[in-house]
Structure 1
Amino acid sequence: MLKVAAALIPGIATYTYFFGVGVLVQIGLATVAALATEAFCLRLRNYPIKPFVTDGSAIVTAWLMALSFPPLAPWWMITLAAIMSIALAKHMYGGLGQNTFNPAMVGFAIMIVSFPAQMSHWAAPLGLAPQSLDAAAQLQWIFTGHLPAGLNFDAVASATPLDTVKTQLMQHTNMLTILHEKLFGGIGGIGTEWITAAYLLGGLYLLQQKLIPWIVPVTFLAVLGGMAGIFWLVDPQHYTSPLFHWFSGAAMLGAFFIVTDPVTSPTTPLGRMIFAGLIGLLTYLIRVFGGYPDGVAFAVLILNLAAPFIDQYTQPSVFGHKNRKKAGAKA
C-alpha cells in the first residue's frame, strides 16, 4: 500500500501545480475522514485498531477518491464520501479483502449522482482563466462556499475537457472547432494531459515493482483506445482520438490504480483480461453516449458485480482432469 501511495505522488504533485492547494486539501480531508471511520468501524466490530489503520488501505482509498473529486469541492462532500466508502463499501461487507465494490469508486459515484452541480465546480487550470484563486481563496471557497470580495467563481471556473467535448457536441459543434478552444492542449486538456502522464509514470513504477498484473492496464487502455479509434476513423468530426481518451479524465488513474484492485477483480489471467476489457468498453460508451462525461467509476462498479461470475467461468482446468474424463468416456 505504501508503494501504491508513492506511485500516486507524481500525479498529486502535477495536479497541485496546475489546480492549486485545493487538491491537497481534498486529500487531507479524505484521509482524516477515512482513517477516523476505519477506526470507528473496527471498534464497533471489536477488531484491533492499529494493525488495520496502519496497513495503508484506507489511505489509498482516500487518495484515489480525492483525486477523482474537483479540487474545490465543499469540505463536507469529500468527508461524507470518505465516510461512506469506508463504512458502507468496505466494513459492511466484512472489511479489507471482503468488499465487493471498489470503495473509492463507491464514494465518488454516490456524490456525483447526489450532487452533480457541486461535482462539476472545477477551477480552470494554471494560467487559463483571467483571474486565479490563490491558496487563501481556495481554502475560503472549500470551507465556506464564499470567495473574497472582488472575485467571481464563474471567472475562474472551467469545465473538464471531457465535459466540454460532450456539451459542445450536443450543440452540434464539430470536433475541430471544439479542440481549438483554449482549454485543450496537444493531446488532451491543458494540465490534465500532464496529470494523466504523471499517473502513467506511477503506473509504470507499479508494473516495475510487479505490484499489479500488466494484462489489466494494457487491456483496459487497448479496448478504450480501440473503441475510440474506430469511431474516430469513421467520423473524426464527431469523435475524439484514442490519445484524447487516454489522456483525459480518469483513464490512466483507472487503468493502473483502480481497475487493478485485487479484491474487487477476478483472480484468473483470462478473467482479468475480460474484466479490464469490459471496463474499457463501458467507459467509452458512457463517455460518448451516456449522461456523464467520464465513465470509469460506473464501469468499474458494474464490473465489480460481474467479477465472481467471470472468475467462475475462467478457472483453468485442474491438471489431468480432462484426461480422466476422456479416459472414462473411451472405457
Structure 2
Amino acid sequence: MSTQPIIVSASPHVHSDRTSKKLMYDVVIALIPAFIVSLYVFGIGALIVTSIAIISCLLFEYLIQKYLLKTAVTITDGSALITGILLAFNLPSNLPIWMIIVGSLVAIGVAKSSFGGLGFNIFNPALVGRVFLLVSFPVQMTLWPTAIVNNSTVVDAVTGATPLGVIKEGLQYGETITQMSTKIPSIIDMLLGFTGGSLGEMSALALIIGGLFLIIRKVISWHIPVIMLTTMMLMTGVFWFIDPEHYANPIIHILSGGAILGAFFMATDLVTSPMTKKGMVVFAIGIGIITIVIRLFGAYPEGVSFAILIMNAFVPLINKYFKPRRFGSKIKAKIM
C-alpha cells in the first residue's frame, strides 16, 4: 500500500481559512491610523517617504522575481507593500529619496529575495533596510524632524533629537532627568504624536489601536507585544526606582522610540517570529532585555531594531527547542 508524502510549506503557518494575502492586508489596514498621524505632523514629507519606499519595494521585488530568480511575480500578496510601509515608518520624513531607494533595495534584495522570498527570510526585511541605512548614513538617519505645536496645531517642523535622544545626550553631559524635564515631551504628546522621530514613532495611541485591531482579527497573538513591553517596563522600572534622576520613567521608554511599532508590527512578523506560544514568550523577553540594555548602556538611544534582528537570528533555535507536540505522539496517561 503506497503512502502519500506530507508536504510542509514554508512559514508563515497559520491555522485559519484566511490566506496570507488577507493577513497582509489586515496589517496594512492596521497601519493606516499611524500613517494619518504622520501625515498630519509632517505633511508632504511623510507622503513622499512612504510613497517612495512602497514603490521601490514593489518595483525591486518585481524585477528580482521576473528577471533574476525567474519565478512567479508575487507583488500583489501584500508582503512587499508592508515592507515598504514599515521601512518608511522607520525613517525620518526628510530623508533623501535616493537613500530610501537604497534601503528598499537592501530590504527586498538582500533581506528577503536572497533567502528565497516570503516564508524563507530569517530577518525582518524592513528592519534590515533601516539598520543598513543607519550604519551607512548615520547623520541623515538621525536628523529627526520635530513637530512644533501651537495651540494644538502643528505649524512647523525643525530637526532635533527624539525624546530618547534628548535623555541620552543630557545624561552624557551630566544633566538629571529633572533638569531635562522641559525638553522631554509630555505623556499626552507622545500618545498623540507631537514628538520628534521617524514616521512610525509619532503616535503611540494610533499604533496601539492598529495593534489591537490585529489581535482582535487574530492576525497576531498578544504574547509577543504584551510580554515584550512588560519586560521593558519592568527593567526600566527597576532602574528608575533605584535612581529616578538618571533613569527615565518606564512610561517614557514604552511610548517613545520604536517600542510600540516594534512590538505590534515587526516583532510579530509571521515569518521571523517563533511558531509556538512558549517560543514567543522567550523571543519577546529577549527583545525587551536587549532593547533596554542598548538604550541604557549602549551608544544608541534606541535599540528596538537591533534587538528584534538579534532575536530573529535565534528563532530557528527557539523553534527547535520549543517544538509543538507531534501528531500521533503518545501522551502518558495519569494512573489513578
Shorter-normalised TM-score: what interval? Answer: 0.7 to 0.9
Deviations 1:142-168 (A, max 9, x none): xxxxxxxxxxxxxx2211111111010
Question: Counterpart amino acid of 1:165?
Answer: I
Q: Could you tell me which runs of 5 or more consecutive residues in structure 2 were left unpaired when the two chains were aligned.
A: 1-23, 196-200
Q: Give, in angstroms, the shift of residue 20 of structure 1.
A: 2.5
> Which residue matches 1:45?
69
Matching of residue 161 in structure 1 with residue 185 in structure 2: no
| Aligned residue pairs, count | 300
Q: In 2, Cα distance between the equivalents of 1:41 and 1:277?
A: 36
- More strand by percentage: 2
Q: Give, in angstroms, the shift of residue 71 of structure 1.
A: 0.7
Instruction: Determine if contact 1:65/1:107 at 8 Å carries over to the other structure.
Output: yes
Secondary structure, counterpart of 1:157 in structure 2: strand
Residue 191 of structure 1: which of 194, 198, 208 is its match?
Answer: 194
> Which residue matches 2:181?
179
Q: In 1, Cα distance between the equivalents of 2:125 and 2:238?
A: 33
Q: In 2, Cα distance between the equivalents of 1:307 and 1:165?
A: 32
Q: In 1, Cα distance between the equivalents of 2:148 and 2:82?
A: 26
Deviations 1:208-231 (A, max 9, x none): 111001111111111011111111
Q: In 2, Cα distance between the equivalents of 1:106 and 1:77?
A: 14
State the 4+ residue runs in structure 1 displaced beyond 6 angstroms: none
> Which residue matches 1:257?
265
Q: Give, in angstroms, the shift of residue 35 of structure 1.
A: 0.6
Equivalence map 1:138-157=2 (5 Å): 156-157=158-159
Instruction: Determine if contact 1:279/1:299 at 8 Å carries over to the other structure.
Output: yes
Q: Give, in angstroms, the shift of residue 323 of structure 1.
A: 3.5
Question: Counterpart amino acid of 1:38?
Answer: E
Q: In 2, Cα distance between the equivalents of 1:284 and 1:242?
A: 10
Instruction: Determine if contact 1:162/1:248 at 8 Å carries over to the other structure.
Output: yes
Question: Counterpart amino acid of 2:182?
Answer: H
Q: Could you tell me which runs of 5 or more consecutive residues in structure 1 were left unpaired when the two chains were aligned.
A: 134-155
Residue 208 of structure 2: which of 183, 200, 209 is its match?
Answer: 200
Matching of residue 294 in structure 1 with residue 296 in structure 2: no
Q: Give, in angstroms, the shift of residue 315 of structure 1.
A: 1.5
Q: In 2, Cα distance between the equivalents of 1:283 and 1:23?
A: 26
Pairwise CA RMSD of aligned residues?
2.1
Q: Give, in angstroms, the shift of residue 320 of structure 1.
A: 4.9
> Which residue matches 2:16?
none
Instruction: Determine if contact 2:39/2:46 at 8 Å carries over to the other structure.
Output: yes
Q: In 2, Cα distance between the equivalents of 1:292 and 1:78?
A: 21
Equivalence map 1:104-253=2 (5 Å): 104-127=126-149, 132=156, 156-181=158-183, 183-186=184-187, 189=190, 191-192=194-195, 195-253=203-261
Instruction: Determine if contact 1:188/1:248 at 8 Å carries over to the other structure.
Output: no
Question: Counterpart amino acid of 1:66?
Answer: A
Matching of residue 271 in structure 1 with residue 279 in structure 2: yes
Secondary structure, counterpart of 1:125 in structure 2: strand
Q: Give, in angstroms, the shift of residue 262 of structure 1.
A: 1.2
Deviations 1:13-56 (A, max 9, x none): 1122122321111100001110110001111211122xx11111
Secondary structure, counterpart of 1:69 in structure 2: coil
Q: Give, in angstroms, the shift of residue 126 of structure 1.
A: 3.3
Q: Give, in angstroms, the shift of residue 191 of structure 1.
A: 1.2
Instruction: Determine if contact 2:224/2:267 at 8 Å carries over to the other structure.
Output: yes
Q: In 2, Cα distance between the equivalents of 1:212 and 1:87?
A: 26
> Which residue matches 2:88?
66
Question: Counterpart amino acid of 2:163?
Answer: P
Residue 321 of structure 2: which of 288, 310, 313 is its match?
Answer: 313
Shift in CA distance, 56/45, structure 1 to aligned 2, threshold 3 Å? same
Question: Counterpart amino acid of 1:46?
Answer: K
Matching of residue 100 in structure 1 with residue 122 in structure 2: yes
Instruction: Determine if contact 1:187/1:243 at 8 Å carries over to the other structure.
Output: no
Instruction: Determine if contact 2:148/2:155 at 8 Å carries over to the other structure.
Output: no
Matching of residue 28 in structure 1 with residue 28 in structure 2: no
- More helix by percentage: 1
Residue 81 of structure 1: which of 103, 106, 110 is its match?
Answer: 103
Instruction: Determine if contact 2:294/2:301 at 8 Å carries over to the other structure.
Output: yes
